[in-house]
Amino acid sequence: MANATTDAPPAAPERARRGTARQDAQSVLLLGSVFVIATCGLIYELIAGTLASYLLGDSVTQFSTIIGAYLFSMGVGSWLSRYLGGALLKWFIRLEILVGLVGGFSAPLLFILFEYVASFRLILYALVGLTGILVGLEIPLLMRILENRFEFKDLVSRVFTFDYIGALLASLIFPLVLVPQLGLMRTSLLFGALNVVVAAVALYRFAETRPYRRSFAALMAAALLALAVTFGYAGRIQRYTETLAFQDQVIFAKSTIYQRIVLTKNQRELRLFLNGNLQFSSQDEYRYHEALVHPAMQALPNARRVLVLGGGDGLAVRELLKYPQLQQIRLVDLDAGMTELFKQNHLLTALNQRSFFNPKVQVVNGDAYQWVRQDTTRYDCLIIDFPDPANYSIGKLYSAAFYQELHRLLAPGGKLVVQSTSPYVARQSFWCIAHTLQAAGFHTIPYHCYVPSFGEWGYVLAGENGHWRPNAGPLPRGLRYVTPVTIRQMLDFPPDMAEVPTDINQLNNQALVRYFEEDWGPYVH
Amino acid sequence: MLPHNSSPFPAPSPTDLSRRDFLARTGIGVAGLLLGPGVLLESCSPAGSATSHIQGGLRGADHAVGHLLRTPGQLPAPSQELSTDILIVGGGVAGLAARRELARHGHEPLLLELEARTGGNAASGQNPVSAYPWGAHYLPVPDARNHELLAFLRESGVITGVDEASGQPIYNEYHLCHDPEERLLLNGHWQQGLVPEVGVPAADRAQITRFFRVIGELKQARGTDGRDAFAIPLDHSSTDVQFRRLDQLSFAAYLDREGFTSPYLRWYLDYSCRDDYGATAAQVSAWAGLHYFAARKGHAHNATATDVLTWPEGNGFLVEQLRRQGKGTILPGTVACQLQETPAGVEVLAYDASTRRTIRIRARQVLLAVPHFVAQRLLAGIEGTTQPAQPLHHAPWLVANLTINGLPQGPGQPLCWDNVGYGGASVGYVNANHQHLSLSADGPRVITLYWPLTDAPPAVARRQAYQTTYAEWLPRILAELEHLHPGATPHVQRVEAWVWGHGMVAPTPGFLWGPERAKLAQPLRQRIFFAHSDYSGMSIFEEAFYQGLRATHEMRAAV
């Protein structure tokens, strides 16, 4: 920097010494800035890469393309730096505020914008490009500011040393400290603030900034305030939503008019939560869905039509598609937000094997109760995969009145199966569902299996008659859990899950919701 | 919960005169006639205020038609003549129940209904969000010995069968009020059920327990005549003096005498009286106050005595069933104005407001299924009519239907069917969407706020109610809502209000078992008959239905 101080040139040795000391301090400060901005720059890159692989799946591709795009944009920024002239320090301060804002808000912005899936990639790469260009401007600009203070070889050596040390620090603290402690959103905001602080320090340590100090100080205060408010707000959002409630990283969250859908991910598995309740883990969902579908379906070798109520994840449908004799699978799920998510998200379509795109499958977004009352089709099998009866609205879908409607929909000899919560944790609830089906005139076969992420889980198989065998027909090839032997084992209820007397769940008593509250209460509160 | 019946006598078709003009001209007495819908005075709050987004209006009555009843001399000359064997005046529950019963015996009576639709006190409305009641909206699971009522419910699909083992009726689950049924906002917390519990001191709880023990005994109690102490229809109750003398004192005096002084219990009992009779515990008789609790003896395979039957449109469902199960022409929008006896029977002049024509109707028998004070006016100049010593106690009500998009909920029990605030001026609101089966948890809904205007004597309260404009009602209605749900006003989209001038008859001390009530319902010369819940002294569906049947039996016996 040509005129680092206004009181140069050094006239007396003492002044010269003092001046050199000040200049040294300023140089150290600027090199320190290199270190900080290098750390920040890499953090933004890591955030973008992590977010992209969380949100879009396929981490190798995402990381590779994000890093490539980021580095290329940095190159563009470096090239553009030649067009910056005049008061370089002023440019530097400007730049740091801008990097702080763009980089700092990148994670919150991407999380919010992910709901607009169609243009998400465009937004992602535009943001990565912008951040890259701004970060790419930083080092060349700093080197020009420092060029008169060091010899060229020292300058290059020191700047790049600090740059790479910063990168090392960033790459270590990002996975080990920042993501687990702060999460992506707060990390990004925090490092945005650090960029602004670098600008602030430069503003106050260099006398030449005096003419514009006031206006820039106001700008920085506003930027810091915005970042801090968002940081604080992120905490409030987290309290109300999921990030703290879930042990893994939240990679998708969306409130539809019916529910809050949250997807989390760790190295091993994806987990889906609806209103905070675990719906499945990709690790062991096959156990749940095989047990839901195959005991009924293996007994219906001539089945043609199946109705799935709930199950907007398409995973039960995936199991049904293993029966080539089926001609039509109709799925009725209330929430278009849910079924759309399972049609569009790469990670999720990989899990349900694009089952919703199969021509045999019809997806209807509608209210199951209304649907059942007006549907005149007869089905060979009904798969009822509703959320647990945790409130009065859902409790209606487990009522005797609802089950009575199902007689009309069942073809002669047809079977239905109801996911029936945990017979171990919610023993009364489970048997209440079985008894309610009986009261509605069905023969019931209760069974259960072990799903590690859920614990013991229960189902009730029901039909107009009691004809059913665990080895009635062939099972599809390639099942990982259900075999004729496991089906037989599923029928056995040890004493701690054995039948207990319960009321019938009716619309006018909602006995099940009350049992469910009693049963799960001690586990939740 | 405004109970069930009473056939008002309102008029259809709009008018360009304001309600105030009408009141000034016709006087309050006739104003009482004009209870029903017809005129919707659409209005909005002042722009820019916190309530300016709320649309709606006050449903009023048509003065022109009602006026004719008072001055039949002004009727145009009859331009149409009809003759019928039986003429029913009034299409409320009693009139429709009589019409249905007559159809079962091969009769096709002609029925005149002042409104555009039959239904009386069980009127209902509908908007894109839900059907909703304008008045009576539920029926408790009836006593299994009330065979006629059960037969009607079977025919209506409300009872779907009989349990073979117990012999008890099985009710259609869609018609039984879904759980959760009731909640009370008490000490800032929504508790389950309406009997105060949360934060209630032990001494008060002990009184509440003792009260319900007394009720338990009275439910079982039978007189020396073998009849239940308290029955529905109430005419089936025991005639023993030990029970009937409870009709001589007020419910409040009885409670004082028996040491039921807990303010929580007294609030609950006062609420119950206002809810069912539109009058306070001090205004109704002890027999009636106890009857509210001790006469509910419903039995069902899949429900208990405390369960009720309800529909989004309230008892509009039941009156529609009654109408369908009857036979014979219904002339809507037609008011009976004048009645004369002839050698062959009765001649009635009726005015059709839509065609502005007078119809002369000749009938062998006429059934006046209208409130007592309307019947009295029609019978002016007819020999042998009985005048009560003082007019029957008819409380005015305000009923408001609010269309809301979301409702901020307080702590405790979630939204129920019936939602009441402890100490509130109204008796709370009912969620019209409650029986909907849809999952959409917090979408738009209609709630019906019930408000018996019991702060002043009925005639005064009625006059005040009629003079209150929509702009004056709206903030009061919203204040009631805000009391239950602070911050709810921005969610309110529409408020429709309806003033029932003579909402329901109240069983004041001495009325139920004094000599007067039976005399009022006595037929005149086997030609003119009476059916209305006024003649029971309680405005509930079961009583109006019973009165319709009783009158039908009298008419058939007269032949």
Task: Give the pLDDT of residue B181.
Answer: 94
| A176, two tokens | 């080990």
The reply to whether A419 and A298 lie within a common domain is yes
Task: Give the pLDDT of residue B91.
Answer: 95
Evaluate if residue B32 carries a pLDDT over 70.
no
The reply to whether A366 and A300 lie within a common domain is yes
Tell whether A148 is covered by a domain.
Answer: yes
The position carrying tokens 């036979």 is B327
The reply to whether A76 and A180 lie within a common domain is yes
| A252, two tokens | 């998708």
pLDDT digits (tens, 9 = 90+) for A185-234: 889 999 999 999 999 998 888 888 888 888 899 999 999 999 999 888 87
Contact B437/A369, CB-based, under 8 Å?
Answer: yes
The position carrying tokens 């509250």 is A517
Are B381 and B337 contacting, i.e. CB atoms less than 8 angstroms apart? no
Residue that terminates a domain, selected from A240, A268, A297: A240
Query: Any idea where the domains of chain B sit in the sequence?
Result: 25-66+126-135+392-505, 68-123+314-390+508-558
The reply to whether A292 and A235 lie within a common domain is no
Mean pLDDT value across chain A: 87
Question: The domain B68-123+314-390+508-558 belongs to what CATH superfamily?
Answer: FAD/NAD(P)-binding domain (3.50.50.60)
The reply to whether A191 and A308 lie within a common domain is no
Confidence of residue B210 (pLDDT cuts 50, 70, 90): very high
What distance in Å separates residue A187's CA from the closest CA in chain B? Answer: 35
Domain that holds residue A381: 278-524
Asked if omega into B233 is within 30° of 0 (cis), the reply is yes
How many domains does chain A fold into? 2
Confidence of residue B41 (pLDDT cuts 50, 70, 90): very low
Q: Who wins on pLDDT, B34 or A77? A: A77
| Strand B78-89 versus strand B110-112 pairing type | parallel
The residue of chain B nearest to residue A509, with distances taken between CA atoms, is: B179
What distance in Å separates residue B416's CA from the closest CA in chain A? Answer: 10
Evaluate if residue A89 carries a pLDDT over 60.
yes
Are A336 and A370 contacting, i.e. CB atoms less than 8 angstroms apart? no
Evaluate if residue B20 carries a pLDDT over 50.
no
**Which domain CATH number covers A58?**
1.20.1250
The reply to whether A232 and A333 lie within a common domain is no
CA B379, CA B204: separation in Å to the nearest integer?
A: 51
Cα B466 to Cα A395, B27, B474: the distances in Å are 44, 11, 14
pLDDT digits (tens, 9 = 90+) for B294-333: 999 999 999 999 999 999 999 999 999 999 999 999 999 8
CA B144, CA B306: separation in Å to the nearest integer?
A: 14
Tell whether A196 is covered by a domain.
Answer: yes
Evaluate if residue A385 carries a pLDDT over 80.
yes
The SS3 call for residue B40 is: strand
Confidence of residue B503 (pLDDT cuts 50, 70, 90): confident
Chain A residues close to B441, C-beta within 8 Å: 258, 391, 393
Task: Give the pLDDT of residue A261.
Answer: 84
Asked if omega into A9 is within 30° of 0 (cis), the reply is yes
Task: Give the pLDDT of residue B12.
Answer: 33
Chain B residues close to A258, C-beta within 8 Å: 439-441
CA B535, CA B526: separation in Å to the nearest integer?
A: 18
Evaluate if residue B383 carries a pLDDT over 90.
no
Confidence of residue A154 (pLDDT cuts 50, 70, 90): confident
Contact A370/B441, CB-based, under 8 Å?
Answer: no
Chain B residues close to A396, C-beta within 8 Å: 178, 437, 439
Evaluate if residue A359 carries a pLDDT over 80.
yes
Catalytic residue among A163, A380, A385, A519: A385
Evaluate if residue B229 carries a pLDDT over 70.
yes
- DSSP string of B162-178, one letter each residue: E-TTT--EEE-TTTBPP
The SS3 call for residue A496 is: helix
ipTM of the complex: 0.77
Evaluate if residue B8 carries a pLDDT over 70.
no
A492 catalytic residue (yes or no) = no
Tell whether A423 is covered by a domain.
Answer: yes
Evaluate if residue A362 carries a pLDDT over 90.
yes
pLDDT digits (tens, 9 = 90+) for A96-131: 999 999 999 988 887 766 655 556 778 889 999 999
What is the identity of the amino acid at A318?
Answer: R
Give me the mean pLDDT over the B195-206 stretch.
Answer: 95
Task: Give the pLDDT of residue A525.
Answer: 46
CA B66, CA B117: separation in Å to the nearest integer?
A: 17
The reply to whether A219 and A361 lie within a common domain is no
Going B116 to B119 to B120 to B125, the CA torsion angle's sign is: negative
Cα A299 to Cα A291, A438, A489, B82, B472: the distances in Å are 13, 20, 16, 70, 68
Q: For residue A166, what are the β-bridge partners?
A: none
What is the identity of the amino acid at A336?
Answer: A
What distance in Å separates residue B436's CA from the closest CA in chain A? Answer: 10
Least confident of B47-61, B113-127, B198-212, B258-272: B47-61
Going B501 to B504 to B507 to B510, the CA torsion angle's sign is: positive
Touching A: B residues 158-177, CB under 8 Å: 173-174, 176-177
Among the residues of B369-492, which ranges form H helices?
372-378, 458-467, 470-484
Mean pLDDT value across chain B: 88
- Using the Cβ of B437 and the Cβ atoms of chain A, whether some distance falls under 8 Å is answered with yes
Least confident of A473-482, B127-136, B351-360: B351-360
Contact A258/B440, CB-based, under 8 Å?
Answer: yes
Evaluate if residue B559 carries a pLDDT over 90.
no
Secondary element (H or E) of residue B504: strand B492-505
CB count within 10 Å of CB A135 equals 27
- DSSP string of B293-334, one letter each residue: HHT--B--SS--TT-EEE-TTTTHHHHHHHHHT--S-EETTE
Tell whether A1 is covered by a domain.
Answer: no
CA A53, CA A62: separation in Å to the nearest integer?
A: 5
Closest by CA position to A191, among listed A38, A388, A360, A369: A38
Are A244 and A235 contacting, i.e. CB atoms less than 8 angstroms apart? no
Least confident of A81-95, A412-426, B62-76, B332-346: B62-76
Closest by CA position to A356, among listed A323, A311, A324: A311
The reply to whether A236 and A352 lie within a common domain is no
Task: Give the pLDDT of residue B64.
Answer: 53
Nearest CB to B302: which of A392, A393, A506?
Answer: A506
The reply to whether A135 and A283 lie within a common domain is no
Least confident of A181-190, A429-438, B459-468, B519-528: A181-190
Give the total residue count for chain B: 559
Tell whether A11 is covered by a domain.
Answer: no
The reply to whether A224 and A317 lie within a common domain is no
Largest CA distance in chain B: 71
Residue that terminates a domain, selected from A216, A240, A264: A240
Which CATH number applies to B25-66+126-135+392-505?
3.90.660
